[in-house]
Structure 1
């Protein structure tokens, strides 16, 4: 089976509070969810009916088994999720204090985490090469072993930019606690960008990748680095996307935010769906914006990923064009 999307990188158990508006020290009730951005993107795309898989590693422990169970429940292929016996499955806690305060606390990632121990020589490079979309993250570049695996995966897709309907995506998810410096991260991003056809990040993440500037400046630099599609998230100003031929902006869909942490991953899964469907770029962005907005109104991330009907209903409610469900 050829996958429409294969993601690679971080996975964890998210422990999110049921108590809203208080600090983590004061939370008394929590829920347990599948987490980690690449895993969440795979779940989000699966909700849109796409054949997805994730390449990652867990501990050989009950939390690792929980993540396998959740991936299968969401319809994500877990055949490339393997265990690292000497490490524990990471756990991520957060506090939820709307509208903008959602601090994350990472446990079980020092000195390493299982998803930083992905082995390059164990990758199914034929499957990676055949996937319609391959999605990796800057976090995966922060440690030597996972960095080499990511480079190997990208090198398996040398013709991706020449193949219609095939995309190689880098999520510019810079997290400073995983790096020694911004300069170190920028160096590694510069090495991987020639293998990338789509780059996605907010203005701060784009600044780490290609330097400060306006969204147009940052998009121009990403295109100059070889990217075919640069997507720059601009917060309350919406999302801008640029190719060599066009530049479009999608305005945000304001909602009452409950937890903003999963919005970017929901956006990513919907972006994948729109690119695979071959919609016009503005419709792809509108659809992804709506998907992200819906998750922001909910507590969970993976468990909150919306269905196409929910996304199109929000677009229709806000007077935005509703794309046809083209299965490409």
Structure 2
């Protein structure tokens, strides 16, 4: 675990909770007889993935003051992720998420985040903005923009990253577009958007965040929310026009398109893998993307490595505990043991 005062490679901000996943595959939730409990929440999983790859990572989030909150802290520490900025909100329970597993591409999610998720009660005046600014990579998600006070806190963190120009040690400020329409149902934003669950309501807030980000990552649905267009190359160009330097468009079985402002374009096909649970693939991709950015890899190597990490987790049941180690990704890239006996395409959600 990173100690106080040590520079952090990655700080993520946003959702945390407990994933309750069936231990039976292809069974409706009503008929499942046994479950596994795992640390969850996309930004949290990205931090775990980065830590598995040897990076010093931390999470900014909040849990309930309850046993599931205690579990989240314990799990973070076991994964080597700094939990100093994960605090309790006594009035709200730690979120729980259930899923159904119907491989290769049907994984319905059921979020229990009412009356309000603690990770949406992050206040701007409670942030360690000096740490946010000094982190080599800061990773935030679209869900953090869906409701106050998290929305203002997330935008404040982004503004701190950009204040006075990019700090010398900053590598990237990443916006995971992470569109979850069910979270955008109430409240208003000063920019005029109301949270009615529509892309049009979210788009002005997304654009405000994109103005401070250097990297944007999302699938086609998420890119369309942010840009209003859907064709992959048009999405990438629109994200670049909105202010980022690198746009990464995930296209499921069609692979990944990455376009850099310098004109570099990479189109990477997914690695074949027998899909078990595709829900954690995008988070593994994110942690591996951070790893490659920190290593200074060229866009081709970066995209291939992130693709391989996502494919590995698509072939496993869990999310956080399934995040790969570096040697596993390298084995898959080299056609080694991790790539044997597979026959389906990994899908990055």
Give the TM-score normalised by structure 2: 0.89
Q: Which runs of structure 2 are paired with 1:4-15 in the superposition (5 Å)? A: 4-15=9-20
Counterpart for residue 323 of structure 2: 305
Whole-Å separation in 2 of the counterparts to 1:86 and 1:221? 41
Q: Which runs of structure 2 are paired with 1:69-218 in the superposition (5 Å)? A: 69-107=74-112, 109-158=113-162, 161=166, 163=168, 166-179=171-184, 180=196, 181-218=198-235
What number of residue pairs does the alignment pair up?
317
Counterpart for residue 334 of structure 2: 316
Counterpart for residue 189 of structure 2: none
Q: Please state how far the C-alpha of 1:155 moved relative to its aligned partner.
A: 1.0
The question of whether the paired residues in 2 share the 8 Å contact of 1:161 and 1:197 is answered with no
Whole-Å separation in 1 of the counterparts to 2:124 and 2:238? 29
Q: Please state how far the C-alpha of 1:164 moved relative to its aligned partner.
A: 6.7
Deviation per CA, 1:25-70: give whole Å up to 9, x if none: 1100000000000000000000000000000000000000000000
Unaligned runs of 5+ in 2: 1-5, 185-195, 337-349
The question of whether the paired residues in 2 share the 8 Å contact of 1:6 and 1:131 is answered with yes
Whole-Å separation in 1 of the counterparts to 2:110 and 2:318? 16
Q: Please state how far the C-alpha of 1:132 moved relative to its aligned partner.
A: 0.2
Whole-Å separation in 2 of the counterparts to 1:257 and 1:189? 31
Q: Please state how far the C-alpha of 1:160 moved relative to its aligned partner.
A: 6.0
The question of whether the paired residues in 2 share the 8 Å contact of 1:58 and 1:84 is answered with yes
Deviation per CA, 1:156-203: give whole Å up to 9, x if none: 111565747521000010011111221111111011111000000011
Give the TM-score normalised by structure 1: 0.95
Quick one: which of 259, 263, 275 aligns to 2:277?
259
Counterpart for residue 340 of structure 2: none
Unaligned runs of 5+ in 1: 319-328
Whole-Å separation in 1 of the counterparts to 2:127 and 2:259? 32
Q: Which runs of structure 2 are paired with 1:219-230 in the superposition (5 Å)? A: 219-230=236-247
Whole-Å separation in 1 of the counterparts to 2:133 and 2:153? 14
Look up the SS of the partner of 1:22 in the other structure.
coil
Counterpart for residue 288 of structure 1: 306
Quick one: which of 40, 49, 55 aligns to 1:50?
55
**Two-structure CA RMSD over aligned residues (Å):** 1.1
Look up the SS of the partner of 1:206 in the other structure.
helix
Counterpart for residue 342 of structure 2: none
The question of whether the paired residues in 1 share the 8 Å contact of 2:133 and 2:167 is answered with no
